[in-house]
């Protein structure tokens, strides 16, 4: 790292003191980070559950610091002015939020420009914010660790594209491996002379070199990080009329990428930009970024492709986590935090999970974590008007900033919580989203939701189990054995909800009083 002075900085680099000194920490105070990129300068304030932080504040300014760098060797003068003004604003916001000092890093444009160090000195002099210039391999490592924030234990290839560079990093069993950097950023490619043919030849030659230097891997899972990739994914969603507008964990195939590249070529850029809400600065980069993506997919031949909204800024947080915290499930941590913050009886979700689990004897670990998450979230929407709780629960869950969730898993979780408040799902405006689930998963989500709806009636506290459910699929009987304290809670409404749960299982409802 550049410019590290005191012993504390030597130990922790740009990140200051460790944010998570206690391995058992479940919450963190607000933490601000700044990423000075070749195309944008972004300020993010994280807040909430330590393993799955929420975005308390998120602002970016498109400065194009790297524009013209190949020709002049210096940062874009207009971009410098815009970036300085943005940093002044961010410093003021941080002071108002009480989160100074900020952790700030600069990437390709600043590290390559001859006036990059001078620019960082000006920023520190004007705002008090110290920017650490990181090299390409460190940028790749931090981006890969950002992916690990959302997918602990992941394996595959992380590709982070910025304005002036593109980084690659391998993941294996949740650890970052080989790292490489290249000049395949769209701003750099736009300055290549010789037209589209020359640009494509340069991309192909560079990509083949990267592939060889990484040992020629193919068939890996590919995680895409960066604003240009997200813009392409948004265009792909538009082309496919995809019903869920959540970029994180959006999946694409190589054929879809090829189709979208053709779609970009044929569609009027201005019309596309206005329809999808893309910035002009980002839209300019998309055609060149799509060429890079096509070459990346052709060369590395990934088995599947996922968009990651988590990158270098999330990697800066992950950097300071102890290993025990890194290994926690980000979904369950976020749901625990939501329950503690918003539920009427925090802690009841874990008890409810034990109560409903017998209904899913064949659930694998992936399904069980969804069941657990639903139990933790079953009561966080109680403040909503009763007429809208079902829809709000579905809306909040499917669009929440939750890590470690595939899109179909979001729908499963949302549908379960919709059935927590409503017996039937027909007639809602979410029906296009339900199609992302197969019939078996939709039925399981309904059973889970009705189990939550019933279990919530037996509210004895967080230490007292309400009883026991025994599900016998072959005999088609659902037996309820009430605890002594829960018997008096089993009134008409509770009985009706238990009968509805049994009906969802196509089973006979049997109730036994405590012995």
CA atoms within 13 A on the CB side of 348: 18
- In this structure, are residues 297 and 254 in contact, taking their beta carbons and an 8 Å threshold? yes
Distance CA(369)–CA(372), nearest Å, equals: 5
Label residue 85 exposed, middle or buried (CB < 10 Å: 0-12, 13-18, 19+): middle
pLDDT in tens, 199-246: 999 999 999 999 999 999 999 999 999 999 999 999 999 999 999 999
pLDDT of residue 27: 42
Q: Which residues contact 122 (CB under 8 A, 6 or more apart)?
A: 84
| DSSP element (H, E) containing 236 | helix 227-240
Rounded-to-integer distance, Cα 31 and Cα 235, Å: 32
pLDDT at residue 153, as a whole number: 85
Give kind and range of the element (H or E) at residue 120.
helix 116-127
- Structure token pair of residue 501: 């749960």
Per-residue confidence (pLDDT) for residue 11, from 0 to 100: 39
pLDDT for res 368:
97
Same topology, domains 7-134 and 137-313? Answer is yes
Q: Are 321 and 20 in contact (CB under 8 A)?
A: yes
Q: What is the per-residue pLDDT for 49?
A: 56
**pTM of the shown model:** 0.88
Chain centre distance of CA 246: 9
Q: What is the pLDDT of residue 321?
A: 78
According to CATH, what is the number of the domain 137-313?
3.30.420.150
What's the rounded Cα separation, in Å, for the pair 24 and 19?
12
Q: Which tokens sit at 140? A: 């790749």
Residues in the chain: 515
According to CATH, the superfamily of the domain at 7-134 is ATPase, nucleotide binding domain (3.30.420.40)
CA–chain centroid gap for 500, Å, is: 35
CATH number of 330-462: 1.10.3210.10
Q: Encoding tokens for residue 75?
A: 């940062």
276 near 247, Cβ under 8 Å? no
> What's residue 123's pLDDT?
97
Q: Considering only CA atoms, which of 28, 20, 318 is closest in space to residue 146?
A: 318
Which residue ranges of the chain lie beneath pLDDT 70? 1-29, 48-50, 515
Q: How far apart are CA 387 and CA 453, in angstroms?
A: 15
Domain boundaries, the chain: 7-134, 137-313, 330-462
Cis peptide before 101 (omega within 30 of 0): yes
Residue 364 phi/psi, 5° resolution?
A: -80, 180
H, E, C per residue of 132-167: EECCHHHHHHHHHHHHHHHCCCCCEEEEEECCCCEE
Q: Are strands 467-472 and 304-308 parallel, antiparallel or unpaired?
A: unpaired
Interior angle at CA 151, CA 320 and CA 211, nearest 5 = 95
């Amino acid at each position: 790292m550049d410019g590290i002075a005191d012993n504390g900085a030597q130990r922790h680099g740009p990140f200051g003191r460790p944010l998570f000194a206690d391995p058992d920490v479940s919450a963190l105070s607000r933490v601000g980070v700044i990423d000075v990129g070749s195309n944008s300068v972004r300020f993010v304030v994280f807040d909430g559950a330590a393993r799955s932080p929420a975005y308390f504040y998120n602002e970016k300014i498109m400065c194009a610091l790297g524009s013209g760098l190949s020709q002049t060797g210096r940062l874009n003068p207009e971009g410098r002015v815009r970036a300085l003004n943005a940093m002044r604003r961010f410093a003021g916001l941080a002071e108002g939020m009480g989160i100074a000092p900020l952790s700030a890093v600069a990437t390709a444009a600043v590290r390559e420009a001859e006036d990059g160090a001078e620019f960082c000195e000006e920023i520190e002099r004007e705002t008090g914010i110290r920017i650490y210039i990181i090299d390409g391999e460190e940028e790749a490592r931090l981006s890969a660790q950002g992916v690990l924030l959302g997918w602990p234990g992941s394996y595959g290839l992380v590709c982070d594209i910025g304005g002036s560079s593109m980084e690659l990093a391998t993941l294996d069993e949740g650890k970052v491996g080989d790292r490489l950097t290249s000049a395949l950023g769209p701003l750099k490619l736009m300055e290549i002379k010789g037209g589209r043919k020359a640009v494509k030849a340069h991309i192909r030659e560079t990509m083949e070199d990267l592939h060889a230097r990484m040992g020629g891997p193919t068939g890996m899972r590919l995680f895409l990080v960066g604003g240009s990739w997200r813009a392409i994914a948004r265009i792909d969603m538009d082309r496919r009329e995809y019903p869920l507008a959540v970029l994180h964990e959006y999946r694409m195939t190589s054929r879809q990428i090829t189709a979208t590249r053709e779609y970009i070529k044929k569609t009027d850029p201005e019309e596309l930009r206005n329809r999808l809400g893309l910035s002009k600065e980002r839209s300019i980069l998309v055609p060149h970024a799509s060429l890079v993506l096509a070459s990346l997919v052709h060369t590395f031949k990934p088995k599947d492709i996922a968009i990651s909204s988590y990158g270098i800024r999330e990697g800066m947080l992950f950097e300071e986590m102890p290993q025990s915290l890194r290994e926690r499930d980000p979904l369950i941590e976020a749901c625990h935090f939501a329950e503690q913050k918003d539920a009427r009886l925090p802690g009841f979700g874990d008890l409810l999970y034990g109560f409903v689990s017998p209904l899913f004897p064949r659930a694998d670990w992936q399904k069980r974590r969804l069941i657990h998450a639903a139990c933790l979230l079953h009561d966080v929407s109680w403040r909503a008007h009763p007429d809208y709780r079902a829809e709000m629960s579905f809306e909040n869950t499917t669009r929440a900033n939750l890590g470690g969730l595939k899109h179909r898993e979001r729908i499963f979780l949302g549908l379960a919580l919709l059935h927590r408040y409503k017996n039937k799902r027909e007639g809602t405006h979410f029906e296009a989203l339900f199609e992302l689930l197969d019939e078996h998963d939709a039925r399981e989500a309904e059973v889970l939701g009705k189990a939550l709806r019933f279990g919530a009636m037996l509210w004895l506290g967080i230490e007292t189990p309400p009883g026991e459910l025994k599900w016998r699929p072959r005999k088609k009987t659902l037996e309820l054995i009430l605890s002594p304290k829960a018997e008096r809670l089993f009134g008409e409404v509770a009985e009706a909800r238990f009968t509805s749960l049994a009906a969802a299982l196509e089973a006979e409802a049997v109730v036994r009083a405590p012995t």
